[in-house]
Amino acid sequence: MSIQLGTIAPDFTQTSSTGEIRFHDWLGSSWGVLFSHPKDFTPVCTTELAEAARLKPEFDKRNVKIIGLSVDSSENHGKWADDIEETQGQKLNFPVLADGDRKVSSLYGMIHPEADPSVTVRAVYIIDANKKVRLTLTYPPSTGRNFAEILRVIDSLQLTDQHKVATPVNWTDGDDVIIVPSLSDADAKERFPEGWKTLKPYLRVVKQPKRA
């Protein structure tokens, strides 16, 4: 199964390092980031889980819940969490799904058909408050994920959901944005009374509006 942008994220019930998770209920009205790991005790993922835990206050500010996944058991997750704290100096503070039966991995298409069925791909899913999938990423085993980029995308999605704008290349929160082409100049004047810079009729640059 391939997860398409804009579709409802598949719901599931699965055990985790913090107990049983009913995914949609657990998300509630929050956004979510679900990210998978091939298995416990892998070096790159050890650093990633620690970084996600360090950044949890930043996810909290954005009303985003984070949850990991590995095909190993909750008992193994606990031992791995000890290793993460010992080597990275950071205690885990979010659940990690124990997907031993591959239920969630199969539901989200995390197992490559030509690969070892016991090893999930390293995927990321950003899910909005309406349970829609807004971003998918797949990383190679040797490359650590960039959580600053994941936060940047969430900032962009939440901003552009609220305003008729898009974010340009390398945008970060506070930079100028682009008025979407579907918005007429007349309507843009109502939304952006301080004006904008027109580089081309389809490329109108404006100061970033405030997020709610």
Task: Report the CATH architecture of 163-206.
Answer: 2-Layer Sandwich (3.30)
| Residue 164 a catalytic site member | no
Percent of the chain surpassing pLDDT 70 = 93
- What is the tens place of the pLDDT at every residue in 101-130? 889 988 998 876 555 555 567 899 999 999
Residue 210, sorted as left (phi over 0), alpha (psi -120 to 50) or beta, turns out to be: beta
Domain boundaries, the chain: 13-145, 163-206
- What is the tens place of the pLDDT at every residue in 14-36? 999 999 999 999 999 999 999 98
CATH number of 13-145: 3.40.30.10
pLDDT of residue 73: 66
- Mean pLDDT, residues 170-190 taken together: 96
Q: Of the residues 45, 98, 127, 159, which is catalytic?
A: 45
CA atoms within 13 A on the CB side of 101: 7
- pTM for the model stands at 0.92
